[in-house]
Structure 1
Amino acid sequence: MLTQDQIKLLETQKNIELLKKRDERYAYYGILQEYQLHSKDELQKLDYKKLNPYQHFLFKRVLHGLNVYTAEEVKSLHWDKKRRIKKVWLRGQEVINEWKQMICNKKVNDLLYRFFGENVRPIIDIPAEETLPDYKNTLTLKDLGLSYEDLILKFMSEGLLPKNFLTLKPNGN
């Protein structure tokens, strides 16, 4: 049987390993810089299910645009606010699409290199960040191993969500 000290040591090692994997994962997804801007305490709290209603609303508005409102609410919105919401939503969709393309490019490059080795160097030397703006990536976030938490960090890094998003209070301050 393990002692309490051994259990604590194992939990600490597990947490350290989890943080290392998270750093590698965020570096792979291109959001490590945004991840590093926030304290570990804030990021430990970053759980989509634990967002307060205001944070949830802001995130959903970037992700879904005017669809977060009822038809009556949309009618009552000022035309300029509708335009701004739609503009942010379209930008959010572009960011998601580019990001999904970049991740797919990285995964395909890794796969090609594993199967064909140095023979595919001319193909995989093309940067994974080169994306096609007119191509729509139809893979889901789940297929790519992305979560809403990752998407929140990406939106924050792109300026679609405020930099203080993780510390926003429910009353909107």
Structure 2
Amino acid sequence: MSLLDIKCSNTPSCTWTQHNNLSDPFCPALAAASQDVADPTQTLPLLDPDHKLAHIPASELPKCSKCGTGLQRPGVVWFGELLDEAMLDEIDEWIAPDDVNGKVVDVVLVIGTSSVVYPAAGYAEEARGEGTSVVTVNLDAEKPEQLRYMVGKGNFCFWGVCGGVVAEVVGAGYWAVEGGREGV
């Protein structure tokens, strides 16, 4: 699933998904939330807690084209929602060492998360325990001591805006270093 995916809210009974929807907004009723501000020093209305957004009736939101009853929604997992069991099984299989060849995952990227919500938070630790390098990129620059435990031989930890840091790290060729690097 991805932020660019649209899925039916009537899950698990309906499995309709549209992948890579680049429309912004993806329906006319959400146009007000997608508007930019003319003055770059102004807060976007959608991000301004003092700006009251208009109520959008469900009748103005697109219905699922498959079942016709569920609403279309972003294909992400919202806090409090259960993760898809099949997806979790695939991740467990992917991250576990291969019985014949040993470890199969070379690098795990942990980008833009505090790594405290499970089960996702456990994947980096599980991989690290098998000798996989873990690369952490997080905006929490004010509290780097919270991420220091993630650094060690073959692991990397970068602080800053994820989009900028990831582009800089990939452009710098850190991945080409034999055996990884150590440090902060």
**Could you say which TM-score interval applies, normalised by the shorter chain?**
under 0.3
Bigger relative CO (Cα 8 Å, ≥ 6 apart): 1
TM-score by length of 2: 0.24
TM-score by length of 1: 0.25
